[in-house]
Structure 1
């Protein structure tokens, strides 16, 4: 996990730890996160900058001799309206001004910075035909901590044109910048102009405007941030599940190698292997002496977690392609001096992958609430109901089931498929929409709810282990996890508010991710 410190408003306050080379080819999800959080500085690749310059030269020549969408014509339903030569210089700024109409709340710094990182790298792929100084300006902003004001709503999954138009106007000196709060960056947060670190205003004309905004960079940046956090939480959930297995004397048979070799789904195989590793179980565990079969929350963990890991892998593959893609419309190809008009901006793959991932995660969270309910049952723990203390009629952790259920309700709502949306826009010329932008926002919002659900399970599992005085081998991953949890979670088991306990447990999950990744 990265070492960023991000406050509740999303302001970034960490320093650079090394470069991320932007070359339009090899940017990774974790690189986007590092740039968004300010733990890395961008370094544009030399060959990639040459591609940008060649594309810029080619685009101007093509636009000067033929009709090119958005450069010598209007956009959307205005695609057939030519821009007179004498009006071409102002056409770009008018296009940015008219499209910079995103609405809603201002987005936090790291989401906007993720957008800038993705857009800079896409431009370095070489198909946009935009002036090279724009790439330099984006990299300057990423390094200094300056970021443009961008509002939440304005995309339906066919290009983040409103958000990027706001960024374009900021680059042109007509829209506010903010300061992300890097140490020593200077500039008062909220200054509309003159923020220290904001790049010098760029001269943007008809050859720059559409080339800059023809992208889904905000959606992709948000998707990268959400995937990074939720993948880590998914891994941490397995560690929490292993603690719950210990707390109820769960059988290891469900994780046996022969079981999963007989049904070899990649994700389930890996989850079962990790469960054996976490618990120190052999590949072929002995049958249990007590219960014949555990509840689904324990027995079906590989079958539920496995698909979520597979969904995360599929989403990461889609995001990796898109953040390194020259998907601008039109695509400029200096090799054959052509401008290809196309639909490469349409984000069906991303919308579907995000929807799939959220649905898979919701099943994992639901399984966590199932284990939480089992932890409250004396028949499984041999403890008092709800892990209560010895005072008469104590409620113990009873409320956690309600709290986790409420958070799960939000998660379930966020998991509604955004790709079912539909829109007909711009006088019917754009008659379909992927709503990948909504899918990305929903996935980001799912992070908090998911984290709280699993935090509730962790509080209960640690309490059960304390009461039963089960202390696994500290050399095992599950032993290290319990030691860490014991050092953080309050040992007082009297009836009291558990809000702070769940908050601490939810924050602890990031460190559990490290335990999962280090393994045995």
Structure 2
């Protein structure tokens, strides 16, 4: 039987879903002996190399100080000085789940045996994850060229010089070469990236359900999701979306005509717009999976060739660019959701009262939802702007490029939150329309999702504040995809 509560750390096969489970404390990490053995070989090799040649960050300073040779008699303090000088983060502390994810990712990267850190660092990270000890890590200080401030804070916490946020462990010694080897990673940014990707994919999955409810409320035409239609232009995401819509709507065999010859774009072009977002999310997962298992430390201590290689693997251009792409795709998806909401309040399309209002003449019904949705859509539009058009030149001009991947990911968190509001407004409109029209839903998972939504969202006929219902609709969105 597979133990889903245990994640084996090998340095080669960590998945995004594993990171999410450990971050949320639904699983724990266990280092494999072979990974520790490889890490020990890399550590011994790094010590040997440092005794015979210049190795960046071990026998030299860092950044523009790369040619400054460290006094061998003071090497024991060089690592701690490096950590202390780089632990200059500020801003709000990172959430505990982000820090747990960062520790897990860094542990797995170190298990890939390219850093040369002492194996006790790996064992201490493993212990911290097992007992629930979490360092205090600040959020501001990364530009996409290594999470130097965040990882320096974690390292100093392990060394007993920085506070814990939750729990505590006995301090460990930091070997002279451990400092740069530990902080030469983007593990904190990757942690935020995995959790952001996970949350967005959950909301994208809910998009199919909400759109299917709107389809039923509007009496949509199934031709737009036909297998024949999508086989003629087989983009993977669009085909996947169409398959899901056919499944939700019970479209087996002969297609039943809709109420119109052609539906508005919100229904008719949904696979063509949702599809790119699904493809973009898949591309993000692919990049993340590579980086979670990467020995990307600079320099790379390679136990196969017994050499140290200096390089630019700290750059996260891949990560920044795929998240910029994902946000742009999400904006298109959100535009269609707002368009479907407008369709739901239009009597010519639903056969129901304007704004789905009930009560005396002039009642506003859900009129305000369009304002809320377009406010959120505007926020999403600003968050979708590419961050990769900027750069930075630092360290006396030596480091003259930055991807700003951390900012691309945090913009994605903002965009996801805004989209959740847009989609929640559509869900409220679709549920209200279906209640008023008393339409029969197909005997598929869609009916279960609708029953879940109606149980969570009250039906109040008269005009009233909708704030609480919007918030509740946002909360249940991720669960709709699982109904």
TM-score by length of 2: 0.98
SS at 1:365 equivalent: helix
Among candidates 220, 224, 229, match of residue 199 of structure 2:
229
SS at 1:20 equivalent: strand
* 1:156 paired residue number: 143
Note the residue ranges of structure 2 that are not aligned, 5 or more in a row. none
TM-fit CA distance, 1:336: 2.2
Is contact 2:391–2:402 with CA below 8 Å preserved after alignment? yes
Q: Equivalents in 2 of 1:114, 1:268: separation in Å?
A: 32
TM-fit CA distance, 1:284: 5.4
Q: Equivalents in 2 of 1:476, 1:286: separation in Å?
A: 16
Q: Equivalents in 1 of 2:334, 2:280: separation in Å?
A: 15
Tell me the alpha carbon deviations over residues 415-440 of structure 1, each in whole angstroms, 9 at most, x when there is no partner. 11111111001000000111111111
Q: Is 1:134–2:121 an aligned residue pair?
A: yes
* 2:478 paired residue number: 510
Q: Equivalents in 1 of 2:433, 2:52: separation in Å?
A: 75
Q: Is 1:204–2:174 an aligned residue pair?
A: yes
Q: Equivalents in 1 of 2:254, 2:141: separation in Å?
A: 54
Q: Equivalents in 1 of 2:348, 2:36: separation in Å?
A: 66
Among candidates 320, 325, 330, match of residue 361 of structure 1:
330
Q: Is 1:270–2:240 an aligned residue pair?
A: yes
Tell me the alpha carbon deviations over residues 426-485 of structure 1, each in whole angstroms, 9 at most, x when there is no partner. 000000111111111112232322211111110110000000011314x31211111111
Tell me the alpha carbon deviations over residues 31-65 of structure 1, each in whole angstroms, 9 at most, x when there is no partner. 11111111111111121111111111111111121
Is contact 1:159–1:346 with CA below 8 Å preserved after alignment? yes
Alignment of 1:14-413 (within 5 A): 18-179=5-166, 195=167, 198-282=168-252, 285-288=255-258, 290-413=259-382
TM-fit CA distance, 1:205: 3.1
Is contact 1:129–1:208 with CA below 8 Å preserved after alignment? yes
Q: Equivalents in 2 of 1:370, 1:45: separation in Å?
A: 52
SS at 2:127 equivalent: helix
TM-fit CA distance, 1:252: 0.6
Is contact 2:359–2:461 with CA below 8 Å preserved after alignment? no
Note the residue ranges of structure 1 that are not aligned, 5 or more in a row. 1-15, 180-194, 516-520
SS at 2:29 equivalent: strand
User: RMSD of aligned C-alpha atoms?
Assistant: 1.3
Q: Equivalents in 2 of 1:425, 1:133: separation in Å?
A: 33
Is contact 2:274–2:333 with CA below 8 Å preserved after alignment? yes
Among candidates 372, 384, 392, match of residue 415 of structure 1:
384
TM-fit CA distance, 1:232: 1.1
Q: Equivalents in 2 of 1:356, 1:200: separation in Å?
A: 43
Is contact 1:38–1:143 with CA below 8 Å preserved after alignment? no
CA spacing shift, 1:309–1:283, aligned 2, 3 Å: farther
Tell me the alpha carbon deviations over residues 171-197 of structure 1, each in whole angstroms, 9 at most, x when there is no partner. 110001012xxxxxxxxxxxxxxx3xx
* 2:441 paired residue number: 472
SS at 1:101 equivalent: coil
* Moved beyond 4 Å, runs of 4+: none
Q: Is 1:488–2:456 an aligned residue pair?
A: yes
Q: Equivalents in 1 of 2:469, 2:230: separation in Å?
A: 36
* 1:6 paired residue number: none
TM-score by length of 1: 0.91
TM-fit CA distance, 1:396: 0.6
Is contact 1:414–1:445 with CA below 8 Å preserved after alignment? yes
Is contact 1:256–1:283 with CA below 8 Å preserved after alignment? no
Is contact 1:471–1:479 with CA below 8 Å preserved after alignment? no
Q: How many residues align?
A: 481
